[in-house]
Amino acid sequence: MIEFGALTGPLPKLGVIAVALFAAAAILARPARARALAILGALVLSPLLLLADIWHSPQLGVVHRHPLVAAVGAVLALALVALLSVAIARRPPLFGALAIFALPFRVPIEAGGTTSNLLVPLYLVVAAGSLAFVVPALLRPEREPDLYRGTRETRWVERLLALYVVLYGLQAIYSSDFEKALQQMVFFYVPFALLFCLLRALAWTPRLIRTCLQLVTALAVVFACIGFVEYATKSVFLNSKLVAANNVHTYFTVNSVFFDPDIFGRFLALVMILLAAVLLYSRRQRRQLDATAVLAILWAGLVLTLSRSSLAALLVGLATLAALRWDLSRAIAAAAAVVALGAAAIAASPNTFGLNQGLNGASAGRAGLVSGGIDLFGQRPLWGYGSGSFVSEYRRENQGTPTSLAASHTIAITIAAEQGLIGEVAYIALLVAAAFMLLRGARSDPARAAIAAAFLALAFHSELYADFLEDPVTWTLLGIGTALAVSRAPGRGHPEARAEEAARIPAPVS
């Protein structure tokens, strides 16, 4: 209660900085004990900050009226986390499978007066995985050697990730929307940083990679089938704004279990890129046929989202795979042919693509958001308006802005307006370092090629829609990509991964 009382005063800003430092320390710390202490600090401080932020909000009214019920619910949640942590401690690869399975599922929850679709299942998995690592590392440090050893490329990515998280916390101090910055930190940056740390330390054996690919593929097929049902019945399960939009347009957009069709499209596009890697690299005809059939289903689901940004991201991912698998010149020629066909289609029927409405109309108002974000950056080019402030500052500069358009759909513009050149340089450096790490050595490694192509597609999609480090998939790809980059380095790698690889190599014949 003393800690909670302190956080309700002027200390939440210091709390955001502290939790950002904990997350950064979890990423950078090498000794297992130091990393465990940082993870524990982040796990404890994050919910305290959140409670201090929403304690007087209407959605916690049930807690105030029925504290006993709330306490029982909290105990049950902690018991579930404890059970999961025991299972993960016994079988560490289980964390990877559970994290991949939980990635798409969001639960609508009100926080700070707004409704957010939060990754509650993923939070439970991350908390359980964190406890499975923290408890042994603190109680038996001599039995928990640090099995992770980074390379030069992976260490640069880790440093830049930690730097960006700390910068976001520091720049929340002067934000015009500190509440939004706090929620971004505790809902996204901190839990996803812990997710990255845990995935990076796993032994990503071929068996675990295959299991996770099968899981995410099965989920994508199920979600696509839900989209087919929505299209057939002309009804959507979530997002009342999408229902209203479908009622006034001649076309019908599906979103499956996702709140936004573009997020659904992004998920399908990324899974299709992973399956395309199987199609390109596998020599087994049965696998190629299976991958082709699933790709056809997911393609149909992607078309029904009408997400142009997801289609473009898919092309970027496929072009990356083509350049890695074959030759860069052939990939460029194929990309040029696709662009030429697209330009011809637009020229033949410009009204179909909304060009008769102008650039802002064709982009559903996003061109105005980009120009407005650039104007905000021009006013404070060095340090910006503070973390999480884009919505409030854009509305202040553009009175009467519709709520649905009060967010930048270009992540680079968002960072420039909120964090200025300080944040923009850190973001660009992270993007370059991550791309270099993932692409280096990926040409002859199907798993690394798939991860690299998916990451570049996601980065491209974030420039057309939003959410880069606010998307857990980004941290997941970086975590797995980091682990694979280390395990494939000469003389390095997780002992379990090396053991499985050695078991797959036949003994020499004397």
Is residue 480 over pLDDT 90? yes
Which is higher by pLDDT, 49 or 473? 473
Query: CA–CA separation, 96 vs 476, rounded Å?
Result: 10
> What are 109's strand-pairing partners?
116
Give the DSSP letter of residue 269: H
Quick check: 491 pLDDT over 70? Answer: no
Q: What does the pLDDT read at residue 400?
A: 66
Choose among 185, 184, 170, 189: nearest CA to 386: 170
Euclidean distance between CA atoms 18 and 188, whole angstroms: 15
Task: Give the pLDDT band (50/70/90) at residue 505.
Answer: very low
Q: Rounded distance, CA 125 to CA 81, Å?
A: 7
pLDDT digits (tens, 9 = 90+) for 246-282: 666 667 888 888 888 999 999 999 999 999 999 999 8
pLDDT at 509: 36
pLDDT per position as a tens digit, 200-248: 999 999 999 999 999 999 999 999 999 999 999 888 877 767 766 766 6
Of all residues in the chain, what percent carry a pLDDT higher than 90? 56
Say what the pLDDT of residue 257 is: 85
pLDDT in tens, 5-29: 444 456 788 999 999 999 999 999 9
pLDDT at 141: 67
In degrees, rounded to 5, the angle at the alpha carbon of residue 174 between the alpha carbons of residues 168 and 175 is 70
pLDDT at 111 > cutoff 80: no
How sure is the predictor about 30, in pLDDT bands with cuts at 50, 70 and 90?
confident
Best mean pLDDT range from 236-245, 406-415, 419-428: 419-428
Look at residue 499 in the predicted model and tell me its pLDDT: 53
pLDDT at 371: 86
Per-residue confidence band for 349, with pLDDT thresholds at 50, 70 and 90 = low
Q: Read off φ and ψ for residue 110, nearest 5 degrees.
A: -85, 135
Q: What percent of the chain has pLDDT over 70?
A: 79
78 or 351: which leads in pLDDT? 78
- What's the mean per-residue pLDDT of the chain? 84
pLDDT of residue 372: 86
User: What phi, psi does 71 have (nearest 5°)?
Assistant: -65, -40
Distance of alpha carbon 199 from alpha carbon 480, whole angstroms: 6
Structure confidence at residue 66 (pLDDT): 72
Mean pLDDT confidence for 396-400: 78
Question: Which of 112-121, 161-170, 211-220, 309-318 has the least mean pLDDT?
Answer: 112-121
Q: Which residue has the higher pLDDT, 357 or 189?
A: 189
Contact predicate 281/446, CB 8 Å: yes
